[in-house]
Amino acid sequence: MICPSCNSDLNFHKTICPVCNFDLTVLLKFIEMPDYYFNQALEAYSKKDYFSAIEFLSIVKLFNPSDVEAINLLGAVYTDLGNYTNAASNFIKVLKIDSKNSDAKKYLFWLKKKGCEIPIEVLFS
């Protein structure tokens, strides 16, 4: 982490910069926000509160659009909702980021068996 006040490279998470005494509390909360919302999404998903899970995952994706775990979970949510087109779209996004992601491939094979149009090259790339 870089201190926004003095540009010191901090290799640890402290609430006060040891170089300039700048309060880093807000920055640390900002850095931890995607993990917080991902955990909220997991909890909502486990309770079958799919629409809350989608909202939380949308926030995670704002912070990191290529978060494979968040995109995979979003695909799982859409699968459970029966929205196979959006589910497949998310799993294909995962494979564009991580072509060997076994979870995304497993879901895509399952969706293909359910009749969802999945390009064959996506499944075997």
pLDDT at 109 over 80: yes
Nearest Cα residue to 25 out of 54, 46, 4, 48: 4
The predicted pLDDT at position 112 comes to: 93
The predicted pLDDT at position 119 comes to: 83
Nearest Cα residue to 107 out of 82, 79, 85, 83: 79
Structural domains in the chain, sorted by start: 33-123 (1.25.40.10)
pLDDT tens-digit map of 43-86: 999 999 999 999 999 999 999 999 999 999 999 999 999 999 99
